[in-house]
Amino acid sequence: MLAPAKRIPVILDTDIGGDIDDTWALVMLLNSPELDIRLILTTGHNTYYKAQIVARMLEIAGRTDIPIGLGEATSDTAGFQAAWLDSFDMNRYAGDVYRDGVTKLAQCVMGSPEVVTVIAIGPLGNLAAALRMQPEIASKARVIGMHGSIRKGYFGADRPSREYNVAAQPDAGRQVFAADWEMTIAPLDTCGTIVLTGEKYQEVLHSDRPLARALIENYRVWLQARKGMKDVQPGMLFERSTLLCDTEAVYLAFSEELVQIETLGVTVSEHGDTVIDPGAKPIRCATSWLDFAAFQDILVRRITA
């Protein structure tokens, strides 16, 4: 794929290393020529372990030009993809690594002559901290997040669900949702149905592309680490993906052609629910698919590019 003449500057804020969909989103992002990646920032729990996954994936992609930032750690426990790292030494990473990733995010936004798109696919603590540090970033950035649940829940449930990325840090969610920047979200109404099965999944499973192979290796390790949990069934690796919510946020950074966008007042409750509130700040919400099969095709092409 040839990169367009003018690319969109983006920062990825990710809690990779917990659920596997962040790894899918990272591969999709790296294979999206419309997007100019300025920084990848890790958030939630053990942000060093998460940065190790990012660094190893960037090495495989040949993209050590992309800097990595660490958000504030709230745990020193590694997650489900730790075995894939195979004692990866972060000191060998050829690119820049910023221990104070929040400051680096603010610098990237403030130093850019163009509006920066922050693709947020984890809890919103980093963005809330950046707003407190440098409130002016709200005038120089837009946020596209995998957050919330408007009318439908996980797997198309007919009522909203408490979505993890908001519920994990509801105070941060309230700050980010209310800030004076344009915010677009991929809520569970649309992202909560993204699963690859059949020929589409088999194309990814059997791809010989290095990033696709690394993704499937991560998926194998992730499934093994979660063996016995109710969302893991025997044979999943060979049959289907898990729920790939975060990939929609990457898509929305370069196109909205395949989704219906509604602008709704949305507020975050103290328990982390996203609630329609006509008096709240307007949020652009991808509430339904116009062509879900076409999105799946784009996802497969990007993962196997």
260 touches 287 (CB < 8 A): yes
The reported pLDDT for the residue numbered 5 is: 65
Q: What is the SS3 assignment for the chain?
A: CCCCCCCEEEEEEECCCCCCHHHHHHHHHHCCCCEEEEEEEECCCCHHHHHHHHHHHHHHHCCCCCCEEECCCCCCCCCCCHHHHCCCCHHHCCCCEECCHHHHHHHHHHCCCCCEEEEEECCCHHHHHHHHHCHHHHHCEEEEECCCCCCCCHHHCCCCCCCHHHHCCHHHHHHHHHCCCEEEECCHHHHCCCCCEHHHHHHHHCCCCHHHHHHHHHHHHHHHHCCCCCCCCCCHHHHECCCCCHHHHHHHHHCCCCEEEEEEEEEECCCCCEEECCCCCEEEEEEEECCHHHHHHHHHHHHCC
- The answer to whether the CB of 270 falls within 8 A of the CB of 170 is yes
Per-residue pLDDT of 124-153, as tens digits, reads: 999 999 999 999 999 999 999 999 999 999
Q: Which fold has domain 8-303?
A: Inosine-uridine Nucleoside N-ribohydrolase; Chain A (3.90.245)
Task: Tell me how far apart the alpha carbons of residues 22 and 50 are, in angstroms, rounded to a whole number.
Answer: 10
Strand 259-268 to 282-289 pairing: antiparallel
As a whole number, mean pLDDT of residues 45-60 equals: 97
User: What pLDDT, in 10s, does the model give residues 153-169?
Assistant: 999 999 999 999 999 99
Asked if 12 contacts 22 with a C-beta cutoff of 8 angstroms, the reply is no
Q: How confident is the model at residue 231 (pLDDT cuts 50, 70, 90)?
A: confident
Distances (CA, A) of 212 to 41, 118, 164, 203, 207: 22, 24, 26, 10, 6
**Domain assignments of the chain as residue spans, ordered by start:** 8-303
- Structure confidence at residue 277 (pLDDT): 97
pLDDT value of residue 69: 98
What's the pLDDT tens digit per position in 292-302? 999 999 999 99
Cβ-contact 149, 274 below 8 angstroms: yes
Q: How high is the pLDDT of residue 273?
A: 97
pLDDT of residue 296: 98
**Choice between 211 and 78, residue whose per-residue pLDDT is larger:** 211
The tokens for 32 are 């999206």
CA dist list (Å): 54 to 88, 104, 119, 123, 194:
11, 16, 15, 17, 23
pLDDT digits (tens, 9 = 90+) for 236-286: 999 999 999 999 999 999 999 999 999 999 999 999 999 999 999 999 999
Q: Is the pLDDT of residue 195 over 80?
A: yes
Q: How many Cα atoms sit within 13 Å of 50 on the Cβ side?
A: 32
Confidence of residue 212 (pLDDT cuts 50, 70, 90): very high
Contact yes or no for 3/33 (Cβ under 8 A): yes
Residues 39-61 have a mean pLDDT of 97
Q: Both tokens of residue 170?
A: 């509801």
